[in-house]
Amino acid sequence: MTLADLPARIGLYLAAPTPPPGGVPNPGGGVAPPGVVQSNVLEILQWIAWLATAACVGGIIYSAAKMALAHRRGDDTNVAQLGWVFAACILIGSASTIVGALIV
């Protein structure tokens, strides 16, 4: 290999791969598993969503209590912590919408 062959070899490595003859398969939105598995998975997701909502409420209460104690002591209140908790609440609340937008 000479220095003159280098651009051609780099071009071979950077070239886009050719798609398969039938085209790229599209799995679509997928299909839910049948029967009991579907209901069990859905129930677990509902439990996780409930726990995440409870964690959001607990985080807001904890941050607010911490801010109240800091204000009473005359310390600097950390509003940024409450902002991060709100951001997490928004992300958890919109998780299914975000996933739906990314998959479609």
- 20 assigned to some structural domain: no
Please write down the long-range contacts of 30-33, taking CB distance under 8 Å and 24 or more positions apart.
none
The confidence score (pLDDT) of residue 9 equals 74
d(CA 66, CA 68): 5
Look at residue 40 and tell me if it is in a domain.
Answer: no
Q: Strands (DSSP E) along 39-103, which ranges?
A: none
Handedness of CA 65, 68, 74, 78 (dihedral sign): positive
d(CA 49, CA 55): 10
In a domain, 12, yes or no: no
pLDDT > 70: what percent of the chain? Answer: 81
pLDDT at 87: 92
Domain count, the chain: 1
Does any domain span residue 97? yes
Predicted confidence (pLDDT) per residue in 73-84, tens digit: 888 777 888 889
Q: Where residue 58 falls among pLDDT bands split at 50, 70, 90?
A: very high
Q: Would 60 be classed as within a structural domain?
A: yes
* pLDDT of 6 above 80: no
